[in-house]
Amino acid sequence: MEHNRYAYSPITDRKPLHLPGGAHVGLWVIPNIEHFLVGKPSTSITTATINCDPDVLNYAWRDFGVRVGVWRLMEVMEKHGIKGTVALNSDVCHQYPRIIEAGNALEWEWMGHGRNNSEMITGIDETEERSILSEVYSTISEHTGTQPRGWLGPALTETTITLDILAETGFDYVGDWVNDEQPYELTVKSGRLLSVPYSIEVNDIPAFIDRGWSAEQFYQTIVDQFDVLYEDGEVNGRIMAIALHPFLIGHGFRSKYLDKAFAYITGHDKVWLATGSQIADWYRGENETVDDNVARIKSEAETADPLGEKL
């Protein structure tokens, strides 16, 4: 796809990024807390019943996440001092307010994730898209008490103008563009929008559903990814995302290995446990400081006489 949303930037040519506290890796964990419509197919554990209406088997399998899985995930994350950045379907606010209450108590961050995960952000006109994004923004603001800053499209879907509408609506970072290990600014018509590294690789849906991995294999993937980023981050800071879905990772036989993975990561000294907004604020603060210094030096040079004295 040809686009003008960002310029090509090889990571080897960038100035090193310095994470807070001298950390090598900034870790953010993204629980995807979602609502699914009964009559529409979505992520499924089996194709045997997807054409049934209702598809009780797959719907109930997904429904485990909001009834049981999310509570187990909250316990595991709290144990290791990790605050979630929730990719939140706004329908969750109406359907499962107890989850919002618990997430607020844990000081989790909420970012927009569409109305539900049975409807994608694709094949719709501008008017409808603006209505959906505005509804998600206002619903999450009203029910959580905080305005969402981040956005993750359902199944990472977008139209060609989603980024512009997000910036206009009030969102200031997005996770859909899974092409980097550092944040970068996206080009939008007005305002600003940052890409914060999300992951489709360190993500339990592709791991368990598409690849058929065991929980132990997913644990090893998390650890291996962390080890390499931790080493690379000694020179140039890296962001690591772990994307989780409570209807998958919330089962006991999987959460056991997530617990082990978090213990491994938090056992290292140079790790920054962050939320999406904290990452966005750090990145912009670091780069704006550099930009301000460059502008100051340039201004001083322009106002100096040939002997180097300011005029």
Residue 180 or residue 311, greater confidence: 180
Q: What is the pLDDT of residues 184-223, one digit of tens each?
A: 999 999 999 999 999 999 999 999 999 999 999 999 999 9
CB atoms within 10 A of CB 47: 9
* Reported confidence tier of residue 1, pLDDT bands at 50, 70, 90: low
What are the structural domains, with CATH classification, of the chain? 25-275 (3.20.20.370)
- Give 178 or 304, the one with higher predicted confidence: 178
Residue 282 in tokens: 């750090």
pTM to 2 decimal places? 0.91
Read off the pLDDT of each residue in 172-184 and give the average, rounded to a whole number. Answer: 98
Q: Report which of 31, 33, 24, 62 is spatially closest to residue 258, judged by C-alpha positions.
A: 31
Task: Tell me the average pLDDT across 86-99.
Answer: 98
Confidence at residue 246, expressed as pLDDT on a 0 to 100 scale: 98
Predicted confidence (pLDDT) per residue in 2-58, tens digit: 789 999 999 999 999 999 999 999 999 999 999 999 989 899 999 999 999 999 999
